Chain A
């Protein structure tokens, strides 16, 4: 197999045209993108969002607040027997959700929570430029997108909206479920509960479309199951992350090789002259 000079690609600060060999190399090599627990958290979240939106949309029932038609509200209510039952399930799932998330973020604080916030709750210059250029791109202009990290600026923004939304939803959900505080508090809780849910739903359409439909981003959907993405996708879409991970990988491989050689030499498995 023809040798590919990865160092050449690592020296650049943005993606460059690739030779067929380099392309083939990147296409057939994979990087680990997601750990096991975050993957489960993602799908657990997805399931909870599905259930809570399904039940919640039918719970909101008044001229002032509702945005689903009556037939939907009646259908979902009948599915659960009574509306009081519907509310009970909505609250129960919400409580389970909050417990799982709190355990998750509390015990994962060192490995996941803080690193995730550090990496993804800050938009750098490239991110801002990416957002502007992406917007121009959607409007039909041909503009170059600056290289992105582990998550692109759009994904970062959605993460902020979703995580902020979840925190608001859980806090206001508890206030509403257990009538915590004065009636005025509950009034505000309702408003914030609905605004948070609506805001996330607006982003959710794009999130689902990007992963499930848009072919350029399709590897990211598979990566939520396998945990891996091929390097070609990473190279084009998350260049800064690819570079970082690739350097890390090369370092680890180099260290492994040295350790192996030392051990092998100690045990006399390697002839001295060949090592020199």
Chain B
């Protein structure tokens, strides 16, 4: 998806359309439009809008931490959640630098943008794209050289929102006036990947458990081989 921030008027119709389409509970949303700035000193003020959603990264940090494998990438490169497998731990939500995931308060499982998978598979456009009054959102197949998004990304220079270590191959690209895009890339709120105490405890215990189980297995294997070599008494003592 390409987002033309020149055209975005910050009306948030995309957020409403998404909430309506997917019954997103009150107080949560799968996508957002944030204002960046104004920065600088009068009269040289700069500001930009930051419409965002799940970036459907190529190498998503959320998948790496999902214990049950509920978060996965489908064959079209979309990052999806199998809610039947999700146990609602939220490691993925902590791992996402864009904050694109939330825990559904009623279901207790993670919910997020699917690039409107069911709609797109049925030949429709995502709800946010369809509803955008300014046509700021352009959706298509980035692998198809004839597509509009291909042209915008590879010929017009639309850029993903990467900054520092947040560089996971986002599939959402931004274009517009150079100054504004630069402001967006520089100032759009990104979170450091959070790692809860529980996750840290696990990182410590994982090798310990491996060593304990490994030593135990090794020990009994050696003992069994020893018994093979030594043999048993022929008569019960």
Using CB atoms and an 8 Å cutoff, list the residues of chain A in contact with chain B: 27, 59-65, 67, 73, 83-84, 87, 176-179, 183-184, 186-191, 194-195, 198-199, 201-203, 205-206, 208-209, 213-215, 232
Contacts and interface: CB of A to CB of B under 8 A. Distances in A.
Given A62-B67, A179-B109, A209-B224, A187 B90 contact: yes
Contacts of B216: 201-203, 205-206
Contact of A183 (B89, B209, B213, B227): B89
Nearest to B83: A84
Interface stretch (B38-46, B135-143, B176-184, B199-207): B199-207
B147 to A, nearest CB: 32
B224 A205 contact: no
Interface string B217-233: 10110011001000011
A195 to B, nearest CB: 5
A176 B224 CA distance: 38
Nearest to A27: B236
A195 B88 contact: no
A179 B210 CA distance: 28
A75 B89 CA distance: 26
Nearest to A77: B69
Contacts of A65: 65, 67, 202, 206
B108 interface: yes
B223 A214 contact: yes
Contacts of B133: none
B69 to A, nearest CB: 3
B161 interface: no
B51 to A, nearest CB: 27
A183 B92 CA distance: 11
B69 A183 contact: no
Contact of A84 (B63, B85, B223): B85
B125 to A, nearest CB: 29
Interface of B: 63-69, 82, 84-85, 87-91, 93, 103, 107-109, 196, 198-199, 201-203, 205-206, 209-210, 212-213, 215-217, 219-220, 223-224, 227, 232-233, 236-237
Describe A's contact surface by its main secondary structure.
helix
A209 B68 contact: no
Given A187-B90, A201-B213, 9 more contacts: A61-B69, A62-B64, A67-B210, A176-B87, A183-B89, A195-B202, A202-B212, A209-B223, A215-B227
A190 B67 contact: yes
B87 A177 contact: yes
Given A83-B69, A179-B87, A191-B205, A64 B224 contact: no
Contacts of A61: 66-69
Contact of B232 (A73, A190, A203, A215): A215
A232 B237 CA distance: 8
Given A59-B68, A61-B68, A199 B202 contact: no
Contacts of A206: 216, 219-220
A183 B202 contact: no
30 contacts: A59-B69, A62-B65, A62-B66, A62-B68, A62-B69, A65-B65, A67-B206, A83-B69, A83-B82, A84-B84, A87-B85, A176-B87, A179-B107, A183-B93, A186-B88, A186-B89, A187-B90, A187-B91, A188-B198, A189-B89, A190-B87, A190-B89, A195-B209, A198-B209, A199-B212, A202-B209, A213-B220, A215-B227, A215-B233, A232-B237
Given A61-B68, A213-B227, A186 B90 contact: yes
A184 B198 contact: yes
A239 to B, nearest CB: 16
Contacts of B217: 205
Contacts of B209: 194-195, 198-199, 202
Contacts of B201: 191
B213 A198 contact: yes
